[in-house]
Amino acid sequence: MTDTRELLNRITAFRQRLGDATPAPSVAEPESFRRSVLSLAGADGADPLPPQLTQRARELLGFAKTLLDRQRAFTADPVVAGLAAASTNDALIAYHRETTAMMASAVRMAQSFPESPSVQLKMCNGLEGVLEVVKERLTVQERALALRRTDYTRIDRVAACLTAMNRFQQVNLNVLASLAEELIEEARQGKALRVLHADVLSAASYPGGVELPAPARFVAAHALTVAQVVARVVHLDYEWASRPLPAVVAALVMDAGMLRVRVDLLAKAGKLTPAERRELEQHAQYSAELIVRYLPDAAPLAAAVACHHERTDGTGYPAGLKGAAIPSLGRLLAAADVYAACCAARPYRPAGDTRAALTDVLLAAEGGQLDKDFAEYLVTLAFYPVGAVVELTDGRVGVVAANHPDRLDPRAPGRPVVAVLADADGALLPRPEHVDLSASARGGILRTLPAERRRDLLGARYPDLV
């Protein structure tokens, strides 16, 4: 039997094994898949390439090997492995499965190469096209994974610190300071504000991840959203613009005392009883006490944290302070806290629209509950922050690419630049089309697209947006 025939028989056997597999492609590639591509690519330790393959075919198969290595590294990532094992309806895992299927198609195409060099060259055009699509998809899913890993890592870091503080264990507060610096730098770069959420009862960011007692991750996710908001508006305040780091750190730890609240109370979907509300309201004072314990020289920070649920009209807690009696940082934290809470899901309601969240903050300020200056700072976030996936009034769907930073123009917060991704019928466009809504007298944004609709409409191409 010739070397060529033996090679083709091996690939045919691999193809048969693929055909016998489950119809939905697995995230994990069989080892035979790797061996087949290694052999075709002429890798060290593999059989030599048959002389009938053209040089271009050899190069393309070598390219396929590099893509396969990236794909295998992605599959082996703990986050991907955990999500895949959980059999969740995760857009990133579904996207990766399709990429795996495309890679398998490329190998099948290679096994059908004839001996004719001229026909091989023609088929190489098709193989190269498939491999370029695989390369692009790998880049998309790697970026989506990097965002997901960053979110999970940050939640775990904050949750671990808050847990240790409540256990009176040694805490490296430099971890929180470094994270605050990261958030401030992202704000300076104009990166998207990511509203984070973790279920009250969740113990790990992903199956197999670091486990922490509930509700640490729920509290940490909210704290990170508040900290992102503070990082984006603190430069507007004359008192805190020159020292944004303490303000962002305060946002990260302001709910540390929430870990002392019973989990079943935080997970309750119904209305709280007066006794339950009193128990919940103690968390602000608990947080301040923990800050004093770990940062004895940060009394002003602790005072601000203790007041982040106070209201300028005296209706807040724990002390019912009014107006200027509430520290300025406490008033800033209060506005950011209300906004972040409105944007995220809670056991008693779904996640709110960013426009509704900003409107609620402004109305609360107008009604005297929140400081007007700090509430107006949040207008710089716009009704639809950069990165928000929105539905336009004509049915098209896109992602906010930029906002017009004009606090004096009442139309500016709701008229951003949108990268349109899908037409009114839900068909994905071949490439994004940018529309500046401020330049149009008609049409606008109808709403922020709900998570389920984002996944169904955009998950097949944009797993980083769902």
Does the pLDDT of residue 306 top 50, yes or no? Answer: yes
Tell me what pLDDT residue 108 has: 79
The whole-number average pLDDT for the span 32-42 is 52
Work out the average pLDDT over 331-351: 95
| pLDDT averaged over every residue in the chain | 87
Decide if pLDDT at 43 tops 60.
no
- At residue 10, the pLDDT reads 52
Q: Where in the chain are the domains?
A: 3-148, 172-381, 382-466
Tell me the two tokens of residue 83. 């999500």
The pLDDT tens digits of the residues spanning 257-277 come to 999 999 999 999 999 999 999
Packing angle between helix 244-253 and helix 216-233, nearest 10 degrees?
160
The structure tokens listed for 284 are 């602000």
Report the distance separating Cα 192 and Cα 325, nearest Å. 34
Would you state the structure tokens that stand for residue 407, as one six-digit string?
A: 């606090």
Q: Residue 50: pLDDT above 60?
A: no
Question: Hey, is 283 helix, strand or coil?
Answer: helix
For residue 22, pLDDT over 80 is answered with no
Q: List b or e across 311-331, with b for residues whose CB sees 16 or more CB atoms inside 10 angstroms.
A: bbeeebbbeebeeeebbbbbb
Give the integer Cα–Cα distance in Å for 27 and 99. Answer: 9
Lowest mean pLDDT among 8-17, 200-209, 383-392: 8-17
This prediction has a pTM of 0.86
- Tell me how far apart the alpha carbons of residues 1 and 460 are, in angstroms, rounded to a whole number: 45
pLDDT at residue 337, rounded to an integer = 98
Pairwise CA distance, residues 161 & 171, whole Å: 6
Whole-number Å distance between alpha carbons of 400 and 173 = 35
For residue 38, name the pLDDT band (cuts at 50, 70, 90).
low
Judged against a pLDDT cut of 80, whether residue 34 lies above it is answered with no
CATH number of the structural domain 172-381: 1.10.3210.10
The CA–CA distances, whole Å, from 384 to 295, 437, 441 equal: 37, 12, 18
- Does 18 score more than 50 pLDDT? no
**pLDDT confidence tier of residue 23, bands split at 50, 70 and 90:** very low
What residues pair up with 447 in beta bridges, in sequence order?
A: 391
User: Residue range 29-52: average pLDDT?
Assistant: 51
In this prediction, residues 318-331 reach a mean pLDDT of 96
